[in-house]
Chains A and B, each alone.
Chain A
Amino acid sequence: MASGIKDKVVILGMGCTAFGERWDMSSDMLMAEAFAEALADAGIDKGRIEAAWFGSALDDFNVGNSAIPLATALRLQNIPVTRVENMCATGTEALRGAVYAVAAGAVDVAMALGVEKLKDTGFGGLPIRTKGSVNDLWMPYGSSPGTFAQLAGAYRAKHGIAAADLKRGMAHVSWKSHQNGANSPKAHLRKPVEMDAILNAPMISDPLGLYDCCGVSDGAACAIVTTPEIARSLGKSPADLVAVKALQVCTSNGWESQYGEWDGASVRNTRVAAGRAYLEAGIRDPKGEIGMTEVHDCFSITELVTMEDLGLSAEGRATFDILDGRYDRDGAIPAQVDGGLKCFGHPVGASGLRMAYEVHAQLLGRAGQRQLRQIDFGLTHNLGGQPSNSVSSVAIFGRL
């Protein structure tokens, strides 16, 4: 029986660029910036890295396909570099590749780097992409907010939540993230926003208004991983190290969108991935043990539903938990303390690694004015695609 990933791999170093409208930076410059920070944090030479995983979700926009852009940007010396793409779970998928390689004993030190350069597209929001020549014959050309907005109506129908209550809950999600983003020096959006502005913002996809949606950003993030033993041999003490406790990915097979059972009010992949991750990490009481989360708050309704999918709120109660401040910075389980996708930003291929960067900082006590009280476990979550057809990742980090 597989033993899982728990405590087999530690993060040796992490780096993350400032996210945002990096008009002066190309993707290779972003990669170099994140890598330089991670390498310095790890305290090793570039030559120690034996394999790399490169995450970029939108290869046709400004980065280029294959692993070559990473190898070229960082001038990696003929090591294996693998490009991965799994929509918004891309960054975590890259990390999973690097972590698995180390855990398998194939290499001693591996690297994961995610990058996206979206602001050169010339418009806001994610680019519109073909779904393939067959699917384009019938599948709707829905936008990202449109696909996630549908959670709201189905959630209301399932739980009997009044539209106004749900809207207020969603608004609180965004309000909280704007508050947190103001404390993140590298965040894309660093301005608090009043509740009235959120509630009365122009509609993007009913019922998601402008402030219910994260923007898209330029940015890169990087993790260098190794085994605990090698880390110690490099002079790292346990206090300098964050261990990977669990790393799970779950992918839709069409059940939600083609089989007539899903109610549209939750994301099954997140539930499955979370269940496996808790098992892998040995967490029996997520509500009591998870100290912080960085979840995929691409839209406010996503964060709201995710809190139930992760088992942190009871079924149908996330709206009220959110309004009670449970996920605020000073709440029981702070979420998006760096601002999240909503305000730190969302360069798609980098986002999973950005989340890990914040959890890493919090666990090591390096988060400055964002530093939370003592936490034992931090959870990151990505949701690629759309609720009805998704890739969900859940990772859990802690100390050795």
Chain B
Amino acid sequence: MAEASLKSVAGYLPLLRFDRKVARAELRWSGLGGSGRGRRAVAGWDEDALTMAVEAARGVVAAGLPESVVFASTSSPFTDRSMAGIMAEALRLERAVVAQDTANSRRAATTALIKALRGGATELVAAGEKRAAQPGSAQHLNWGDGAAAALVGPGKGIARLLGAATINADLLDVFTSADGGLPYAAEDRFVRDKAAGEVYLPAVKAALEKAGVAAADIAVAVMPEPVDGVYAALVRACGLKAPNLCAEISQQAGELGAAMPLFGLALALDRAEPGAKLLVAGFGNGADALVFEVTGPGTGTAAAALRQGVVLTSYTRLLNLTGRLPLDWGPRSEVNQKVSASTLLRHGRDMHGFVGGRDQGGNVQFPKTPIPVRPDAEGAETYQDVPLADVPAKVVSITADRLNFTPDPPFHFGLVQFDNGARVAMEHCDIEGSSPEVGDPVRMRFRIKSIDRQRHFRSYFWKAAPAERPDLPAEG
């Protein structure tokens, strides 16, 4: 079989980590505050499954340009608009790239990964999740927002697939219907027993057998747990001895849905030595199990994502950011944000890809205009495309605005100067605490530009974020 190998795997988490102790205290009166242990990653208002998947994918495409891309999510913001297509534009891939959206299962990414590895072509699988859940539910506190991406391709990479197996079973540990929109969970004890015994066990056994690897030889496991205790039961049943990185991820960032297996795989590769055997699984109405042998280093992105961030200690802000607190933002929020379909088709590729242009005098600008901004330009010129997303940049001017509506005030914006000469008026993101100063370095992040609440549409563009994220404090 002309299998491909893993070329690169990356993980992405949003900046904020909600401290579950806060919810436990806030909801003490109700008894619905959960364990109070650990933190969950919380996406910014301008992040969704797609934007986070793009951020993860940016971490792997340097290893090779994919011929096809897969976007995997159970929380895609659209049911009929290709997120994979926008992702391809954001990554500035060829228009002819095969772009596939895969959804409706937390196994979406692992299933796509198995197919990609067996396909032999250079393919990107990127998963993102920003799942809605009702406050008071275990999911609202236990689930986290995040993304991960894997690039596979022919030849030697950083890990090779030794064997894989799939089991399908309509085990309803949790389901979310199109009509309901919010998850509904089954009893934990039932899920623990059946997930371990009737789903994971046969899948893992089959994958290990195909790989020719003994359970005890697995160095690291990445096995999403629908409820606590599933992995422990599996360990008892089949002799696994490896730690399960998903427990650590859930504790520090939350359960990441379709992105969890790839994020765990990225973390495992960040830590494992060459030769180590990895067991990676996807869970949801069955299971996918994959056994890898490590052949090279990880990208370090998942480990960094877990290490860095800012602790969120406001329960009401969590509710707002997760779309569960309908505040009255007043008439200034009534601005019409309708996006013109014809404008989007005409300019969307440059917007999604953040593609500026180098004019005939050598100056770079965004967006491209008929007559360049260069002072000595006399008439219309043609441009050479210049992507700006990865160009170092710094703050020229900035403010934190509290007048205009934004879903998570304040609204930071100002002029950004790119090292290649381009200057762009931009929104900023990922700012907690004091604003950046003039001259501070920034990096570009793919984000939601605007949300049209009347028509349930959103547009995407790039925003400036502080170049570095702070390390998270130790949990207190």
Interface residues of A (CB under 8 A from B): 121-123, 125, 128, 130, 133-134, 136-147, 149-154, 156-157, 203-206, 208, 253-255, 257-260, 262-264, 388-389
Q: Per-residue 0/1 for B365-382: is the Cβ within 8 Å of any A Cβ (1 yes, 0 no)?
A: 111010001110000000
Closest 4 CB pairs of A and B: A146-B401, A150-B397, A140-B413, A149-B399
Whether the pair B347, A206 counts as a contact (CB closer than 8 A) is: no
**In the bound complex, do residue A157 and residue B363 qualify as a contact, i.e. CB atoms below 8 Å apart?**
no
Question: How many A-B contacts are there with CB distance less than 8 Å?
Answer: 142
Q: Are A150 and B399 in contact (CB under 8 A)?
A: yes
Q: List 18 A-B contacts (CB under 8 A).
A: A123-B331, A128-B405, A133-B340, A134-B347, A138-B449, A140-B425, A141-B450, A142-B399, A143-B411, A145-B403, A146-B403, A150-B398, A204-B401, A259-B363, A259-B375, A264-B397, A388-B425, A389-B425
Least distance between B256 CB and chain A CB atoms (Å): 30
**Stretch of B72-80, B129-137, B258-266, B431-439 with 4 or more beta carbons under 8 angstroms from chain A:** B431-439
B365 x A259 contact (CB < 8 A): yes
Taken together as a complex, chains A and B put the C-alpha atoms of A254 and B437 apart, in Å, by 23
Among A130, A141, A144, A154, contact of B397 (Cβ-Cβ < 8 Å): A154
B427 in the interface (beta carbon within 8 A)? yes
Hey, which chain A residues are within 8 Å of B336, CB to CB?
130
Distance between Cα atoms of A191 and B134 in the complex (Å)? 50
Closest-CB distance, A382 to chain B (whole angstroms): 21
Residue contact A153 to B374, C-beta cutoff 8 Å: no
**Cβ contacts under 8 Å, B402 to chain A:** 203-205
In chain A, what residue has the closest Cβ to B425? Answer: A257
CA distance A246 to B99 in the complex (A): 61
Interface membership of B216, Cβ < 8 A:
no
- For B424, what are the chain A residues with a Cβ–Cβ distance below 8 Å? 138, 258
Q: Is B120 located at the chain interface by the 8 A CB criterion?
A: no
Residues of chain B from 430 to 452 with CB closer than 8 A to chain A in the complex: 435, 437-439, 449-450
Cα of A130 to Cα of B366 in the assembled complex, Å = 19
User: B interface vs A, CB < 8 Å?
Assistant: 330-332, 335-337, 339-340, 343-344, 346-348, 351, 363, 365-367, 369, 373-375, 396-406, 410-411, 413-415, 417-418, 421-427, 435, 437-439, 449-450, 459, 461
Q: A136-B450, A258-B423 are in contact. Are A146 and B339 (CB under 8 A)?
A: no
Q: Which residue of B lies closest to A213 (CB)?
A: B403
In the bound complex, do residue B375 and residue A154 qualify as a contact, i.e. CB atoms below 8 Å apart? no
A140 to B406, CA, bound (A): 11
CB of A143 within 8 A of CB of B438, answer no
Q: CB-CB < 8 A to B415: which residues of A?
A: 150, 257, 264, 388
Would B398 and A153 count as touching, CB distance under 8 A? yes
Closest Cβ of chain B to A141, distance in Å, is 6
Q: Which residues on the A side are within 8 Å of B414 (C-beta)?
A: 150
Question: B411 to chain A: which residues have CB within 8 Å?
Answer: 140-143, 146
A206 to B331, CA, bound (A): 22
Whether the pair B347, A146 counts as a contact (CB closer than 8 A) is no
Question: Is A136's CB under 8 angstroms from B438's CB?
Answer: no
Closest chain-B Cβ to A60's Cβ sits at a distance in Å of 11
Contact B425 A139 (CB under 8 A): yes
Question: Do residues A153 and B331 form an inter-chain contact, with CB atoms below 8 A?
Answer: no
Instruction: Enumerate chain A residues within 8 angstroms of B423, measured Cβ to Cβ.
Output: 257-260
Q: Return chain B residues, CB-CB under 8 Å to A141.
A: 335, 404, 406, 411, 450
Closest partner residue, chain B, to A122 (CB atom): B331
A128: nearest residue on chain B (CB-CB)?
A: B335
CA distance A139 to B414 in the complex (A): 10
**Which chain A residues lie closer than 8 Å to B427 at the CB level?**
140
Q: Report how far A142 CA is from B403 CA in the complex, Å.
A: 9
Q: Is the CB of B363 within 8 A of A206?
A: no
Seed contacts A140-B411, A153-B438; 7 additional CB < 8 Å A-B pairs: A141-B411, A143-B403, A146-B404, A146-B411, A150-B397, A157-B438, A258-B366
Chain B: minimal CB distance from A264 (Å):
4
Nearest neighbor of A389 in chain B, beta-carbon distance: B425
Indicate the member of B337, B402, B424 with the most A CB atoms within 10 Å.
B402
Shortest B365–chain A CB gap in Å is 5
Give Cα A128 to B365, complex, Å.
26
B344: nearest chain-A partner, CB-CB: A137
- Closest Cβ of chain B to A180, distance in Å, is 25
A263 to B417, CA, bound (A): 10
| B contact residues around A157 at 8 Å (CB) | 437-439
Contacts of A263 in B (CB 8 A): 396
Tell me, rounded to whole Å, the shortest Cβ–Cβ distance linking B380 to chain A: 15
In the assembled complex, how far is the CB of residue B330 from the closest CB belonging to chain A, in whole angstroms?
7
In the assembly, what is the distance between CA of A260 and CA of B416, in Å? Answer: 9
Query: Which single member of B340, B374, B438, B461 contacts A259 (CB below 8 Å)?
Result: B374
A119: min CB distance to chain B, Å: 13
B331–A133 contact, CB under 8 A? no
**B450 and A255 form a contact (CB under 8 A):** no
How many whole Å from A228's CB to the nearest CB in chain B? 40
Closest CB-CB distance, A271 to chain B, in whole Å? Answer: 16
> Do B404 and A151 touch across chains, with their CB atoms under 8 A apart?
no
